[in-house]
């Protein structure tokens, strides 16, 4: 691969963050996810700025797509773990709203 680019460096920074988020999601350690998501967001915002100005050679482009593939795999795994949790939380909130509405209508 050619000389290291800032774009590639940013993608490489995302890899361990996404892997850690995947580990935490598997362990159901939800509290640590927002902090890691914030770190990812900062890097992604940086990528939005620099990627349009930095050209990658063929080797760097191939490396970038490999990194993106790893990131997508972790993201898909995280979504598969988190989605049922979010759906369950939504159902609980809906039930609480119904109960609250009934309490308001019929009193306590």
Distance CA 32, CA 21 (A): 8
- Domain range for 70 is 6-81
Is 107 inside a domain boundary?
A: no
Q: What is the pLDDT of residue 2?
A: 45
Is 100 inside a domain boundary?
A: no
Is 87 inside a domain boundary?
A: no
pLDDT tens profile 57-78: 999 999 999 999 999 999 999 9
Question: How many other C-beta atoms are found inside a 10 Å radius of the C-beta of residue 63?
Answer: 19
Is 96 inside a domain boundary?
A: no
Which pLDDT band holds residue 1 (cuts at 50, 70, 90)?
very low
Which pLDDT band holds residue 22 (cuts at 50, 70, 90)?
very high
């Amino acid at each position: 691969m050619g000389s290291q680019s800032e774009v590639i460096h940013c993608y490489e920074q995302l890899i361990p963050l996404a892997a850690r988020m995947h580990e935490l999601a598997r362990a159901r350690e939800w509290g640590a996810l927002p902090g890691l998501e914030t770190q990812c967001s900062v890097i992604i915002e940086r990528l939005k700025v620099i990627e349009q100005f930095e050209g990658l050679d063929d080797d760097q482009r191939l490396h970038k797509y490999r990194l993106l593939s790893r990131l997508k795999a972790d993201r898909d795994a995280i979504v598969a773990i988190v989605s049922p949790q979010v759906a369950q939380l939504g159902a609980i909130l809906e039930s609480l709203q119904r109960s609250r509405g009934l309490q308001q209508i019929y009193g306590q």
